[in-house]
Structures are given as structure tokens and as C-alpha cells.
Amino acid sequence: MDAALDAESLIGPRVRLRPFALEDVPAVLAYASDPEVTRHLEWDAYDDPKTAMAFIRSTHAGIAWIARAIVLRADEHVIGGADLRVVSTRDRRAELGYGLARSHWGQGYATEAAGLLLRFGFERLGLVRVDDRSVQTLERLGMRREGRLAQYRWKKGQPRDHYLYALTRAEWTPAV
């Protein structure tokens, strides 16, 4: 897979995706501390700056995990994060994820950011399949629900179902 990151491919009409920086700690804490934002994510809300710094440092780990800040192009404000985690290089398969400040929900920013990562994954990394679980955004991107894994994850003392959505390269139509 081509490991070169092309910054131009990560710029959309309203957002751009860029590597996280330590200066982003306050913005990360603004959305990561909101339990409503993390309700459907694999990680729990946190409000510790050290946790945010550790997260940001970990996002520079390499090609297997491409994590980017979602930045509004209009004012350069960080409103969330999006990532593409390559789970199998042999099978050319990755998982897509994102978290967005609640004040920016419902405005298409997550869809735009996810579309940029899909394009990057399919065109630059040569992926053939990308999975995720965020229903509304995924359906807007053309992903389809493939299944439900009952009580698959444990979060906040409760078993949670896991819904699998996917898109293959053959089905993908660039939107951004």
C-alpha cells in the first residue's frame, strides 16, 4: 500500500483533515469530555488533559492508523477527529471512525470528513473494504448494514450490540 500522505486529498469544501497537534488539547477535550459524543464510540468520555495529550501523541504512530483532526476551513477551528485504522494489510481492509463536537452535529461535517478518508483509503492506500458503525453518516456515504453482533462490546457496565456497516471499493462512488 502507498504510505505517502497527500495533504490535498484530505481537503474538502468545508473541512480539512490534518494531523493532530498538542495545541489541539483544548479542542479535543471539548468534544471528548461529552458523554453524548462518545456514547456510540469504543472509548468513554474523558476530561483529563494528560489523556488528550497521550491520544494526540499516539495519532502519529504510522500508516496502520491514520488519525486526523477535523478542522473547519473557514476559521481553522478543530471540531472533532476522524480516523482510518488499517486492520488487515493482507486483505486491504480498514475501519473508519470519527467523533464530532455536538455543536457541529447534523451539518454534514462528519460525512464530509469520512468521505475524505474513504477516498484516501480507496485511492491512495488501495483498500478494498472499509467498515464502520455510525448509521446515518454511513448510509449517506453509501455504506450498507451487513449485520448485528448482539452484546458484542462492553461499555459502562453494560453489554452493547455492534452493528456492522461496510463499503467495498467496487461499490464506492467519490462524493467529495
The mean per-residue pLDDT over the stretch 3-13 comes to: 65
Which pLDDT score, from 0 to 100, does residue 60 have? 65
Cell of 48: 483529563
Average pLDDT over residues 32-43: 73
The confidence score (pLDDT) of residue 77 equals 95
How do residues 76-96 score in pLDDT, each as one tens digit? Answer: 999 999 989 888 888 888 888
Region 47-55: mean pLDDT is 76
- Check residues 131 and 28 and name the one with the higher pLDDT: 28
The arithmetic mean of pLDDT across residues 102-115, rounded, is 91
Higher pLDDT pick, 168 / 43? 168
Q: Please state whether the predicted TM-score (pTM) of the whole model is above 0.85.
A: no
Q: Which residue has the higher pLDDT, 139 or 116?
A: 116
pLDDT interval class at 136 (50, 70, 90): low
Mean pLDDT, rounded, for 161-170: 78
> What is the predicted pLDDT for the residue at 69?
95
Task: Tell me the mean pLDDT in the region 21-28.
Answer: 92
